[in-house]
Each structure stands twice: as structure tokens, then as C-alpha cells.
Chains A and B, each alone.
Chain A
Amino acid sequence: MTAIPMPVLRTSPWSKVKKYALPIIPFFLLIGVWVSVIAIADPAIGILPRPLKVLQVPFQEDEYWPNVTASLGRLFIGFLVAAVTGVLAGIVAGLSRKFADFIGPLVTAMNAISGIAWIPLAIAWFGIGRGMVVFIVWNGAFFLIFANTVLGVRMVPEVLDRSLQTLGASRLHILRNVTFPGALPHVMSGLRSGLGFGWRAVIAAELVGATSGLGQWIFIAQEFARADIIVAGALTIGVIGLIMDRGLLAPLERRTIERWGLVESSA
């Protein structure tokens, strides 16, 4: 017997490092460009701040953290309301093909309207402050979550529904055991993009419709030519968005859905 020795196959330890470390490089490239521009053009501090100055903002400005938490609080409330109403309404609408077709064009139209367009009216309705920002966040996230949930419900194969009917299942049982879990991949992607758009909506609404929050802080900083605050605020918005998406929703999606083999990993 001349057996070929079995090769030892293992995944390279580098693959994990590559997956998480390589995407950091573009961030450093961006900082590199930033530093070079400053070195070459030497712009006024009010035009483009030094990276180090920006980095100091969270530690030196007392208003930084209260503004971050104010924005996050509004996002949380608005998103929560949008998630609950969007998923519930989406399931109800998705159960009837006729109703889904009936309501579809309106939802697409509403989704196409940038949330900022409602800000003047929202101020008239809710005044300046939290209520108005929460409304704008809800508006930014609801239609996305709703449309994705409807799609998810419609995509559940009818045969699953039928097979449970033949086992004597009630409507409610089918809703809980087929419709909802079947729609979950689309619901999750609706929630992911809803959270992203909700976060943008917070900042936009705060620019003019609040007395606190990152958006308002950035807006005020302009009057004092505090470019460091503006850039620090903007970068904070980006980092929070990244953490929410990759740190919060992507792992949740992986744990529930990929175990069932419904979707391949996307993040």
C-alpha cells in the first residue's frame, strides 16, 4: 500500500487578520491625504483643522459627550417607533398581495422624499426639539423598514404556508412559525438600512430643529469658525454609524439567519 500522506489543511491565521485589518488601510490613506494637504497648502485653521486638533475635541470640549448622547437618544426613540410600526404594518400589508400592490407606489413615493423636505412642517407641528427630530427619524426609517418587510413576507414560499395548513395549523401559528421567520432576512436588511437612514435624519433635523445634538453643535460651530468641532462631529457621526451597522446589526443578522442557511454572509 502506497498511500499518499493526508495533507493537513488549515485556514491561514492571516485570513482573519486580513479580513479585519486590511479595511483599516483606507482610513489611514484618507488621513494621509488630509495631512499632506495641510503640509502643502497650509490652510487657515477655520478652513481645515489639523488632525491632532480634531482628535482632542472629545477630550477638551465639555459639550461633546452630552451632544453625542442627545443625538443617540433621539435616534433610539425614533428608530424604535419606526421598527415596531414598520414591521407590524409591513407584515399586515404583506399578507395580502392585493393590498401590497395597492399601497406599494405610495410607499415608494414617500421613500423617495428626502426627510429634510418635511423639516419645516415638522417644526410647525412639534416645535423645536426632541419630538420633531424623532418624527424626522421615524419618517427616514419607517418606509424602508415597511417596504422591506412587505417584500420579505411576499418572498416566503407559499408551499411552506400550505404545508402547515395541511398539518392543521391556525393562521396565528403560520404567522409566527412561517411568515415572520421567513420574512426575517428582509426585515433585518430593512432594519439595517433604516437605522442608517435614521441616523442621517437625526443629524439633518438637528441642524435647524434642535437646541442640542451633534447636528446642532456642528451648525453652531460654523459661526465660531471652529472647523475642528465640525470635522470631529462629522467623524463621530461616521464612526457611530459604522459601529451600529457592523457591531450591532450585522452580528445579529449572522446569528439568527445564517444559522438557518437562508443568506450568505454579507458583512
Chain B
Amino acid sequence: MTAGNAEAASAASATLTVNGLSHWFIDPQSGSTVHALDDINLAIQPGEFITVVGPSGCGKTTLLKILAGFLKPLAGEARVHGSLITKPGRDRGVVFQELAILPWRTVRRNIGHGLEIQKVPKDVRAKKVAELTDLVGLRGFEDHYPHQLSGGMKQRVAVARTWASDPEIILMDEPFAAVDAMTRQTLQEELIRLTVETKKTVFFITHSVEEAVFLGDRVIALAARPGRVKASVQVPVPREGRTWETMTHDPSMAACVEEVLGLVRGEHEATLASESHANADAEQAQET
């Protein structure tokens, strides 16, 4: 695999770089040390939409937490334009899987929250909020509270809030995992449109191969236990104008899904095998 060399060559111009990143943590149940990430190397270019896909236990959420600055890696480093990531920052917006907007703020005040923190003048803020409200299709719901919205609409608020404060990089942690399948496809298409329009650098985590290929310029397939980069696959169709309609009829996209699926499935089977192996070991250990 030459992915590592390619990453190194492009690192100089990259927005986000990850070098030799490794991390371990203690499993709270068993008390044993888990090797979560093993020597991860990545270089993400300005305006690139990277999707990261892998089986559970491949450390993808750990990786995102490190990039967001919530977690310090035990070895290696992550940098934005050459400066080391040590804590959360306004340059890296995060859209979480869980509901992360404030229930006691209306849609309008949630979307404008980042601008409020930046002390952006009220009229500028109102204009920006209106713009994003339109962009994510929430016009007419500005004065609603989150509990009055559907799951998909709540995630739209979270996306709009992140975009409103205009971070350079956006980290997304399975943001559409909790919404129903129909809504998810709409949200994915909207995200394509939004990112093409705003040219953000995006790091998007998912466990769905279809989602990873549909959204990404490039798909990073992770292997599990320990989490490591298995392959980096370029998606053959430009992101502009991608819809689920074209996706299902484009043989090159279908081939790409097959390729990534092959990588991840092989990984999934290996994980299952090692799990059953580990279980067998544990059973034997208990018997003796």
C-alpha cells in the first residue's frame, strides 16, 4: 500500500495533518489496556471532504476526539496548518452524533450561538442566521424549541450552528446515524450542496460504506483492534451534483462502494474471528 507515501508527499500543503498517531485506553469493564489507534498518518487538503469508515472498535471516534482537541494522544500528533492541536478551538467545528444543541434555546438562538460567543453585532448575526436557516431548510421554525422539532430538523440546527461560526475545518461524528433512513438521504444530499457551496474541509466519520462513498472526495477505510489506516480510496465522481438518484445509476460509484465494502467487510470478518477467538480463549481460561 502506497497510501502512506502519498500522505507524506501532500502533507506540506495540507490543512490537517496526523503523524504517527497512536492511542491506548483502559477498558472500564475488563480493566485491560485497549490499543485504540496504531500509527495513523493522514493529510487532508483544503476543501477536501474526507470520510472515515470502519467497523466498531476501529477507533474512529477516538480519532475525531483527538482532532477536536478533547483527547490528547499518547503518541504522535495532529496539526492544523502546522500548529499542534491541544484543545478545542473555533477553527474546528464539530457536529456530534448525539443531540448537542441547547434545549432551552430557540432554533434562531442555537444557530447564532457561535456568533454570539464571537460577539458578532446583532444585525450581522441576524443576517447570517437567516441565511443558514434558509440553507438548511428551517425557515419558519426560527422560534421553535428543539423539543418541537423532528430528529432530522434538530441535526439541521446543529449543522447550521457549526457552519454559522465559520470554522475552517468541520469534524462530523456520525451525525445522521440517529435519524430515519429517508431523512438521512435528504440530509446527505443537503450536506453535499452545503459543502460544495461553502468549500469547507470536512472530516466525516461513519460506519456506513454507502454514506462514506456518497459524501466523500476520499474514503479512508480503517482496520480494527488496533485501529489503523487500511486504505485510502479516491471516489471517482466529483461531489458537485451527486444525488442518490445518480449514485444508484453510476457504475463507477457502485464499483467504489464494492471496493470499500470489500475492505471493510474483510476487516469485519477478521474482527469477528478475533473476537470469537478471544472468547474461546477466555472460556478456556475460565475452565482451567
- B202 vs chain A, min Cβ distance (A): 14
- Residue A159 CB within 8 A of the other chain: yes
Query: In the complex the two chains form, what is the Cα distance from A173 to B117 in whole Å?
Result: 8
Contacts of B158 in A (CB 8 A): 163
Contact B114 A167, beta carbon cutoff 8 Å: yes
A residues in contact (CB < 8 Å) with B: 157, 159-160, 162-170, 173, 177-178, 181, 259-262
Q: Say what secondary structure dominates the interface of chain A.
A: helix
Contacts of B113 in A (CB 8 A): 164, 167, 177
Instruction: For B90, give its contact among A157, A168, A261, A262 (CB under 8 Å).
Output: A168
Q: Which residue of B lies closest to A181 (CB)?
A: B104
Contacts of B102 in A (CB 8 A): 160, 177-178, 181
Contact B100 A160, beta carbon cutoff 8 Å: yes
Q: Say what secondary structure dominates the interface of chain B.
A: loop
Instruction: For A166, give its contact among B90, B118, B146 (CB under 8 Å).
Output: B90
Residue of A164, A166, A168, A259 most packed against chain B (CB within 10 A) = A166
Contact A261 B165, beta carbon cutoff 8 Å: no
- Residue B25 CB within 8 A of the other chain: no
Contacts of A159 in B (CB 8 A): 96, 98-100
Query: In the complex the two chains form, what is the Cα distance from A164 to B98 in whole Å?
Result: 14
Contact B70 A260, beta carbon cutoff 8 Å: no
B residues in contact (CB < 8 Å) with A: 68, 70, 87-90, 92-94, 96, 98-104, 113-114, 117-118, 145-148, 158, 161-162, 165, 167
Q: Which residue of A lies closest to B97 (CB)?
A: A159
Query: In the complex the two chains form, what is the Cα distance from A14 to B170 in whole Å?
Result: 54
Contact A167 B90, beta carbon cutoff 8 Å: yes
- A20 vs chain B, min Cβ distance (A): 27
Contact B104 A166, beta carbon cutoff 8 Å: no
Contacts of A167 in B (CB 8 A): 90, 93, 113-114, 117, 161, 165
Instruction: For B68, give its contact among A164, A166, A168, A178 (CB under 8 Å).
Output: A166
Contact A261 B96, beta carbon cutoff 8 Å: no
Give 17 new A-B contacts, CB below 8 A, not counting A159-B100, A164-B117. A160-B100, A160-B102, A162-B94, A163-B96, A163-B101, A166-B68, A166-B89, A166-B94, A166-B162, A167-B161, A168-B90, A170-B117, A178-B102, A181-B102, A260-B104, A260-B147, A262-B103
Query: In the complex the two chains form, what is the Cα distance from A167 to B158 in whole Å?
Result: 12
